[in-house]
Structure 1
Amino acid sequence: MPSEGVALFLLLSFAAAYVQTLTGFAFGLLLMGAIALTGLIPLPDAAVIIGFLTLANAVVVLVKGWRAIALMPFLLSLLGAIPMIVVGYILLNLLASSSLVALRLVLGLVIIMSSLQLILRPAACGSLSSKPSFVFFGALGGLMGGLFSTAGPPLVYHVYRQPLSHAAIRETLVAVFAINAMFRLVLVTASGEWPALASIWALAGLPGVLVASYAARRWPPQLSQNTMRRLAFVLLLMSGLSLVVPVIAG
C-alpha cells in the first residue's frame, strides 16, 4: 500500500463522509466513483471497504440522532432491501468476472441518474406514502447496495418526498444504509470472498470518516440545503461522466 495511495484514500473518504453527514446520502456513490476513476482499489474490494466506512459514519451520525428515525419507513425499507442485497451481490460478482468495462459503465450510469435526481426534486407528498411503496424503493436501494454498497438513490428519492423533518429524513436514511452495509458485510464473510487488504484500507480511511462526520455536525457550513444539493449534484455528475464517456468513446 503506497503512502500516496493511503493519503488519497483518506482524503476521498473525508470528502464523501462530509457530504453524507450533511445530506444523509452520497457517501458510497462519491467514494465508489472516485475509486473507479483513480483505479486505487478493485471495485468488488471497494464495495466491502465502503460498507465498513458507511457503518463508521452511521455510528457518529446516529449516536445523538437515532431518536429522529422514522420507524415505519425504516422497517419497511429494510424489508424490501435485505433480499435484494443478495441479488445485487451476485450480479456484482458476475460482472466483475466477465466485464470490468460493463461494470464501470453500470456504475457511471447509476451515478449520473443519481445526480439528476438531486436537481429534479420530486413533488412533496401531503401524507406518508403507502407501505408497499417503501418496500419497493427499499428493494431498489438494496439492489444497488448489493452491487456497489450504494443503496441511496432510489430510497433517497422516495424518502425526501415525505412530510418529515430534515433530521428525520437524514437519520432514517443513514440508519437504513448502515443496516444494509452490515448485512452485505455478513454476506461477503459467509461467501468466503473477503478481500485480503479490505480491513487495512478501511482502517486507512476511518480517520477521515470520523473527523468529517464530527466536523460536519459540529461546524456545518453556512450553506442552504439547496446549495448542498447542487454541490453534490456537480460532484456526482462529473464522477459519472468521467466513467461513462471513456467507455462510450472507446
Structure 2
Amino acid sequence: MITPAIICFWIVAGCAAWVQTMTGFGLGLILMAAAGLFDLMPLPVAASVTSALVILNTSTILRRNWRHVDRASFGWTMLGAVPGLVVGFLLLGWLAGSALTVLKLLLGLVITGAAIQTAMSRQSLKTRSSSASFSITGFAGAIMGGLFATSGPPIIWQYYRQPFALDAIRTSLIAIFFATQIVRMSLVGASGHFDKQFLITALGAAPIVLTATWFARNYPPNISPAVIRRIALILLALSGIALLLPAAVLLTTGA
C-alpha cells in the first residue's frame, strides 16, 4: 500500500539524486537523514532502498567512466569493505530489534560527522597511501555502509588525500559505492528482507531518481554547485543534530 510516508520518501529521493548529480555526494546521506528524522519507514528498510538506489545511480555513471578506476586501491579497499559490511549489517539487525534509540544516535553521528568532514579542506599526500590503509578505511567505512548504506565518509577522506587524478578519485569512489551496495543487497537478500514495503518504495523511487538525475545533467540551475553543496551540508548537519540530540537525551535519562 502506498502511504504518505512512502510518497514523501520518493520526493526526497528525487531531491537527493538531483543534489548528488550537482555536487557528487548526498544520495544516501539525505535519504537516511530524512527517513530517520521523520520516521518515514523502519531504518533497515530505508537502508535497503537506499542501497538499491545507489546501485542504480552509480551504474549509470560507471558505464561511461569505469576505465578511470584505480584498480589497485579499489581492490585493497574492497578487501576491508566486505567484512566491514557484514559487521555493519549484523549490527543493524541487532540494534533495530533491541536498541532503536542507539541506532538513531549512531545515524545522527554518522550524518553530522559526514557533513563536517565533507566541508573540511583536504591536503593531498605526496605519495599514495599504503595498501593496508585502504583496507582499514574500507573496513571502517563499510561498517557504516552495512548499518546505513552510507559507506562514504572514511573512504572519501582517504581517496581525496591521494595524489591521484581527479577523474580517478571520483570514479574509484563511485566503483566502491557500487560494489559495496551490491554486497549489501546480497546480504539483504540472503536474510530474506525483500518485503512489500521495500519493493514498492524502491520501484516507485527508481524512475524519480533517474528523472532527477537526467534533469540535473541537462538543465542545471543558474547557481554555483559550490553554493548547492554548502546548503546541502548545512541541512545534513542540522538533520544529524536533530536526530542525535533527542536520542542522546533518551539514553542519558533512561526514558
TM-score by length of 2: 0.90
The residue aligned with 2:200 is 200
The residue aligned with 1:111 is 111
Cα distance in 1 for partners of 2:67, 2:48 equals 28
- Contact 1:10–1:207 under 8 Å retained in 2: no
Does residue 76 (structure 1) correspond to residue 76 (structure 2)? The answer is yes
The residue aligned with 1:26 is 26
Q: Can you list the C-alpha shifts for 1:63-90, whole angstroms capped at 9, x where unaligned?
A: 2222222222222211110111000011
The residue aligned with 2:253 is none
Alpha-carbon shift at residue 234 of structure 1 (Å): 0.8
The residue aligned with 1:95 is 95
Moved more, 19-28 or 177-186: 19-28
Q: 1:86 to 1:127 in 2, by over 3 A?
A: same
- Residues matched between the structures, number: 250
Q: Percent identity?
A: 40
Cα distance in 1 for partners of 2:89, 2:131 equals 26
The residue aligned with 2:182 is 182
Q: Can you list the C-alpha shifts for 1:21-48, whole angstroms capped at 9, x where unaligned?
A: 3443321111011111121110011111
SS in structure 1 of the partner of residue 126 of structure 2: coil
Alpha-carbon shift at residue 135 of structure 1 (Å): 1.0
Alpha-carbon shift at residue 3 of structure 1 (Å): 5.2
Cα distance in 1 for partners of 2:22, 2:58 equals 12
Cα distance in 2 for partners of 1:150, 1:19 equals 15
Moved more, 165-174 or 97-106: 165-174
SS in structure 2 of the partner of residue 150 of structure 1: coil
- Contact 1:118–1:230 under 8 Å retained in 2: no
Consecutive unaligned residues of structure 2, counting only runs of 5 or more, are 251-255
TM-score by length of 1: 0.92
Alpha-carbon shift at residue 51 of structure 1 (Å): 0.9
Matches within 5 A, 1:1-250: 1-2=1-2, 4-221=4-221, 226-250=226-250
Cα distance in 2 for partners of 1:211, 1:66 equals 22
Residue identity matched to 2:71: L
Q: 1:143 to 1:94 in 2, by over 3 A?
A: same
Moved more, 224-233 or 67-76: 224-233
RMSD across aligned positions (CA)? 1.9
Cα distance in 2 for partners of 1:144, 1:80 equals 13
